[in-house]
Chain A
Amino acid sequence: MSSEIYRDMILDYYRHPRNYGSIEDAEIKVQESNPLCGDDIELYIKFDEEKNVKDIKFKGRGCAISVASASLMTELLKGKKLDDLLSFSKKDLLEALGIETLGLNPVRIKCALLPYKALKIGVYSHIGKKLSEEEKHILDYESESQQD
């Protein structure tokens, strides 16, 4: 049942978002939105000398799923290496959220993946790789679910 997504953990991450705010001198600043529901997120990442995530914050408005997802994602990535950010997958995030198996419909999975999309676009642009429209599209849920 899809309302099972609204478990205490998700609601807690939604109500008390971790790492909420912005970072003035962040190396990565991205803004992504989901025009469908008007959700939008700003993601900030600052690295230390060894290219580890020193600080990561997000800001924005959205549904419980997208906010909880952003909140949890920032927690997971704090202290991680740049390479880890590159290899961080949709599956990692959805599993951490515990919604892999809930049979949530694709529209709502997209909400959960909005922060992920922002992360990837930000990290790729940071290493000097500009994503083509097609590559951006693959960051969305639908295309991936067809591949799986």
Chain B
Amino acid sequence: MCPDLLDPEIIKQDFPIFKRRVYGKRLIYLDNAATTQKPRQVIEAMREFYQDYNANIHRGVYRLSVEATEAFENARKKVAKFINAKESEIIFTKNATEALNLVAYSWGLNNLREGDHILLTEMEHHSNIVPWQLISKYTKAKIDYISIDKEGLLVDDEVDRLMEKRPKIVSITHVSNVLGTINNVKKIVEHAHKIGAITVVDAAQSVPHMQVDVQEIGCDFLAFSGHKALGPLGVGVLYGKRDLLEDMNPFLGGGDMISRVWLENSEWNELPWKFEAGTSSIADVIGLGAAVDYLNSIGISRIRKHEIKLTKYALETLSEISDLKIYGTNNLEQRGAVISFNLANIHPHDLATILDEEGIALRAGHHCAMPLMNKLGVAATARASFYLYNAESDVDALVEGLNKARRIFKL
């Protein structure tokens, strides 16, 4: 076997869920953009925590708490290294959504006012739209959206035009969870910094699938969710540049985020704990650390290569189905392993029901991107999204299922 290519059948053996059957058929999991399956190593790391050293972290003097704290902070080290950040710049949140809200509230609320602009794109997930709409209500700052072209790529001229409004903050997705578009965030960040804007990258769909280096991108903030990267549900990450985080007010108040409290006021804890109020989801953080180890053991660039190959295969085979419309670009360099489509006028929910019967997990709906659905002129799409354990045979099953749907709907 070529060491460069991964063998999804071998990878699958690390994921206990693939042992199960769905309606007597093998599970074909194509909803990785929503959440990913968990390898044994992650489940085991969490089980170990609960079984062997479950305790609350920080300030604990006893052995168990010391071990738990070590494992927790060790996971932070792993995550920091994974995206080339410093440990003090990694804040654990509940998910990417909370990370984006943290920036919107802690930075946005204090730095934006009437007349200011916030720059987003038309392809954002609701989690990178709604927090800004809330902040816009409070501050009267205005939101602009960079439009996309027919191929699902950001329009360069629009970037230039809207940057001339001198937005105070630019928040964009790295990879679209609907179109799969990979945005050139490095270029946009450079542009934004030239005009003095703060930059946020929603990396929920990129960190799990490709090399993401915050130094290389140069962004001020970056957010992602552990559960989309083989990690457990319940933990997300915000990366933020140290000097910005230091100037910001905390997002949530409570235990752990303070150094001293008097009745009148409090002194904030050091970074990153200043932003981690209350007891963290300790087992989940440790599980995320194990997920990072697992991804490193496979190699993120091999994963990306595998996904490019699979996406290429899927785009080719799907385009042979007549009346099937695929959204987004065909340029594999600019596309992640996400394929949204519609088959004739069959509603995506009907498609998903028919495919479900074949053991295929496929998402149908607006994918938390209703403004993008409006732009595409549809109420919903079906979406297949791949990961390291998906094989060409999964794509074949999808194609077969879609042909079955064509027969049922007498197309």
Complex: A64 Cα to B220 Cα, angstroms: 46
**5 closest pairs, A vs B, by CB?**
A38-B379, A63-B347, A63-B349, A6-B408, A64-B350
Contact with B along A36-78 (1 / 0, CB 8 A): 1111000000000000000000000111110000000000000
| Contact between chains at B379 and A111 (CB < 8 Å) | no
| Contact between chains at B365 and A3 (CB < 8 Å) | no
Which B residues lie within 8 Å of A61 (CB)? 379
Min C-beta distance of A61 to chain B, whole Å: 6
Residues of A within 8 A of B (CB): 1-3, 5-6, 11, 36-39, 61-65, 104-105, 107-108, 111
Interface centre among B357, B370, B373, B380 (most CB of A within 10 A): B380
| Contact between chains at B350 and A2 (CB < 8 Å) | no
Min C-beta distance of B378 to chain A, whole Å: 8
| Contact between chains at B356 and A2 (CB < 8 Å) | yes
- A63 to B, closest residue via Cβ: B347
Which B residues lie within 8 Å of A107 (CB)? 349
Which of B350, B409, B410 meets A65, CB within 8 Å? B350
Which of B346, B349, B356, B410 meets A37, CB within 8 Å? B349
Which B residues lie within 8 Å of A39 (CB)? 347, 349, 379
Which A residues lie within 8 Å of B346 (CB)? 64
Min C-beta distance of A101 to chain B, whole Å: 16
Which of A6, A11, A62, A111 meets B354, CB within 8 Å? A6
Which A residues lie within 8 Å of B366 (CB)? 37-38
| Contact between chains at B357 and A37 (CB < 8 Å) | no
| Contact between chains at B350 and A38 (CB < 8 Å) | no
Which residues of B from 1 to 45 have beta carbons under 8 Å from A? Answer: 23
Complex: A66 Cα to B356 Cα, angstroms: 18
Q: Given A39-B379, A61-B379, does the pair A5, B365 have CB atoms closer than 8 Å?
A: no
- B404 to A, closest residue via Cβ: A3
Which of B354, B364, B370, B410 meets A3, CB within 8 Å? B354
A interface majority secondary structure: mixed
| Contact between chains at A3 and B357 (CB < 8 Å) | yes
Residues of B within 8 A of A (CB): 23, 346-350, 353-354, 356-357, 364-366, 370, 373, 379-380, 404, 408-410
| Contact between chains at B353 and A38 (CB < 8 Å) | no
Min C-beta distance of B28 to chain A, whole Å: 16
Q: Given A1-B357, A37-B364, does the pair A6, B350 have CB atoms closer than 8 Å?
A: yes
Complex: A105 Cα to B373 Cα, angstroms: 25
- B379 to A, closest residue via Cβ: A38
Which A residues lie within 8 Å of B23 (CB)? 1
- A104 to B, closest residue via Cβ: B353
Min C-beta distance of A55 to chain B, whole Å: 27
Which A residues lie within 8 Å of B365 (CB)? 36-38
Complex: A5 Cα to B356 Cα, angstroms: 13
Which A residues lie within 8 Å of B380 (CB)? 37-38
Complex: A125 Cα to B348 Cα, angstroms: 33
Which A residues lie within 8 Å of B349 (CB)? 37, 39, 63, 65, 107-108, 111
Min C-beta distance of A33 to chain B, whole Å: 10
| Contact between chains at B357 and A64 (CB < 8 Å) | no
Q: Given A11-B410, A37-B364, A63-B347, does the pair A2, B379 have CB atoms closer than 8 Å?
A: no
- A65 to B, closest residue via Cβ: B350
| Contact between chains at A3 and B353 (CB < 8 Å) | yes
Min C-beta distance of A82 to chain B, whole Å: 32
- List 29 A-B pairs, Cβ < 8 Å: A2-B353, A3-B353, A3-B354, A3-B408, A5-B353, A6-B350, A11-B409, A11-B410, A37-B349, A37-B365, A37-B366, A37-B379, A38-B366, A38-B370, A38-B373, A38-B379, A38-B380, A39-B347, A39-B349, A61-B379, A63-B347, A63-B348, A63-B349, A63-B350, A64-B347, A64-B409, A65-B349, A104-B353, A108-B353
Q: Given A38-B379, A64-B347, does the pair A2, B357 have CB atoms closer than 8 Å?
A: yes
- A6 to B, closest residue via Cβ: B408
| Contact between chains at B356 and A6 (CB < 8 Å) | no
Which B residues lie within 8 Å of A64 (CB)? 346-347, 350, 409
- A64 to B, closest residue via Cβ: B350
Min C-beta distance of A94 to chain B, whole Å: 16
Complex: A128 Cα to B380 Cα, angstroms: 35
Min C-beta distance of B121 to chain A, whole Å: 21
Q: Given A2-B353, A37-B364, A38-B380, does the pair A62, B347 have CB atoms closer than 8 Å?
A: yes
Complex: A79 Cα to B93 Cα, angstroms: 58
Complex: A1 Cα to B410 Cα, angstroms: 19
- A67 to B, closest residue via Cβ: B347
Complex: A65 Cα to B352 Cα, angstroms: 13
| Contact between chains at A6 and B379 (CB < 8 Å) | no
- B357 to A, closest residue via Cβ: A3
Complex: A62 Cα to B379 Cα, angstroms: 9
